[in-house]
Amino acid sequence: MRRLLAAAAAGLALSLAFDPVGLALVVPVAVAVLVLTCRGVPLRRGFLTGLVFGGCFYFTHIFWMTAVAVPAWLGLAALETFFIGLTGAAAAALTRHRWWPLTVALAWVALENLRSTWPFSGMPWGRLAFASVDTPLERLLPWIGMVGVSLVWALAATALAAAVVSWQARSRAGVRGTRRVREPLVRPAAGLLSLAALTTLAVLVPWQGDVVDTAEVAVVQGDVPGDGTNVLNDFRQVTRNQADETVALAAQVAAGEAEQPDLVVWPENSTAVDPFYDTQTHAQIERAVAAIGAPVLVGAMVDDGDDYVLNQGIVWDPETGAGDRYTKWHPVPYGEYIPLRRYADFTFGELRTITRDMRPGTRTDPLDADGLLVADLICFDVAYDDTLQAQVSNGAQLITVQTSNAMFINTHQLEQQFAITRLRAIEAGRWLAVASVNGISGIVAPDGSVVATTPKRTKAVMTAQVGLVDDVSPGIRVGPWLTRGAAAATVLALLLALGTDLRRRRGSSPVPQETTDGPGDGLTDAAEPRSGDARTRLTRSPR
């Protein structure tokens, strides 16, 4: 019971590491507690402990999902909690063997990546790397990417756990004088110092791509009428607001009060109906584009037959009209489509409003906005690695994020997503412009600093001159390889660990702890038996 209570407290504490609280130093402590509570227990106990930790963390962390629907929050949080339960089981298996500080950290990252992409495209919210904003670890992002930074956080946690285990072992050895400690305290201490040295080096030698050109970028936040939570209540006014603010910017440009933009970014859901079929919506876009005389990246819902819809960013040129399009890669399950709809009726309660499923996109090339190459991300796409990696690797010079977030306007989702957005700018080493219908919009520099932003629930236009970068950061390049490497290493480590345990069980031999210091986490209720007696053998045998 003490282990479960400790895991629950650690899970709740981990939720404080992310915005709006942002206590990042909680990360290694909370994950270390999970590792210690799973150490020395059977796999099923590790799984249960992981479930408790994951439930307390994830149900708290994405409570904002209730704005979509309570069933969506319950289902999504429960699914992600299951994966964290698997992490607890993996920790229980791996901590019985040598090198567990490394293998447990790799297992955390592997399962974090798995739950972030599967099933139904997964849910990346709550990755350890996302707690790195405004910390020294964010400087590692352009070098090792999101996966690498999550691994650094996990290694810091397992090194801390190993330090606790070693300290307990040394204390017991000092009291009894007969116990041999196989894992000196210097090992975890050396690991922590190495991570600190790596971070210091990244701070002192930051990655920076060469700026090949500059561009003037404008971001338009048109606001949402009413209480601001539903763009569909008055969707025509939402589009009109976007057009009006763009026309007002054009008037300022004509008066010499603002620079002529090379690109204007509108948010997701700036048109909630198909602009190619709805004449009023089409006219509003044409009015704005003609006035500003520059490409406008329009966030639009586009029909794809009677049963499907596409969430797209469309480059609308003042001379040639609609051009390149990016389609959202990662629609939100139970938010933008109903998984397995063909097999059962999952539409109940608030989910009945999702009458058409959103198809995912596949575009890997950046958008061409009159020669400006743009990596576009739509809303939750910003939390996934794949689409940004593909577009930046294929030549994108600038990043845009089009988001609605109107339904989350009264929740902490906005702060969490904006923090992830800032980290993406650092990871890619590029300027980033994010447009939201009513907040949070902004323009972010490659170092993650916010050079312009607007209050929520307001109409506003931001402009800034941004640098264009062609170089691809090492973090973008190595990210996919780190993902595969962590998965392969975890599978191998688990097979070796479970195989060793099985051989020991068949041979009826005890399973030794690496430090021969009993449970080693300080969270058990019973005193440690003497070495060699029957109770010791029973405690250390796998069940």
Burial class (CB in 10 A: 0-12, 13-18, 19+), 536: middle
Q: Which amino acid is at 517?
A: D
Whether 459 sits among the annotated catalytic residues: the reply is no
Catalytic residue (choose from 183, 245, 379, 427): 379
Tokens found for residue 81: 């909690």
Give CA–CA dist 333/236, Å, rounded. Answer: 26
What is each CA distance from 217 to 14, 54, 113, 153, 299, in whole angstroms?
A: 37, 41, 33, 35, 16
The DSSP result for 113-149, as a single string, is HHHTTTTTT---TT-GGGG-TTSGGGGGHHHHHHHHH
Least Cα distance to 511 among 42, 35, 38 occurs for 42
For Cα atoms 79, 80, 83, give the angle at the middle one, nearest 5 degrees: 100
3-state SS of 209-256 is CCEEEEEEEEEEECCCCCCCCCCCCCHHHHHHHHHHHHHHHHHHHHCC
- State the Rg of the chain over Cα: 26
For Cα atoms 50, 56, 57, give the angle at the middle one, nearest 5 degrees: 85
3-class DSSP state for residue 295? coil
Give CA–CA dist 512/540, Å, rounded. Answer: 7
DSSP label of 530 = P
CA atoms within 13 A on the CB side of 155: 22
Burial class (CB in 10 A: 0-12, 13-18, 19+), 339: middle
Q: Phi, psi at residue 377, to the nearest 5°? A: -130, 135
Whether 328 sits among the annotated catalytic residues: the reply is yes
Least Cα distance to 301 among 220, 170, 205, 404 occurs for 404
Whether 268 sits among the annotated catalytic residues: the reply is yes
Catalytic residue (choose from 112, 268, 336, 427): 268
- Altogether, the residues listed in the chain come to a count of 543
Least Cα distance to 242 among 259, 274, 265 occurs for 265
Give CA–CA dist 473/487, Å, rounded. Answer: 23
Catalytic residue (choose from 138, 183, 245, 328): 328
Strand duo 450-453 + 460-469: pairing:
unpaired
Least Cα distance to 28 among 200, 192, 193, 197 occurs for 192
Q: Phi, psi at residue 309, to the nearest 5°? A: -140, 155
Active site residues: 268, 328, 379
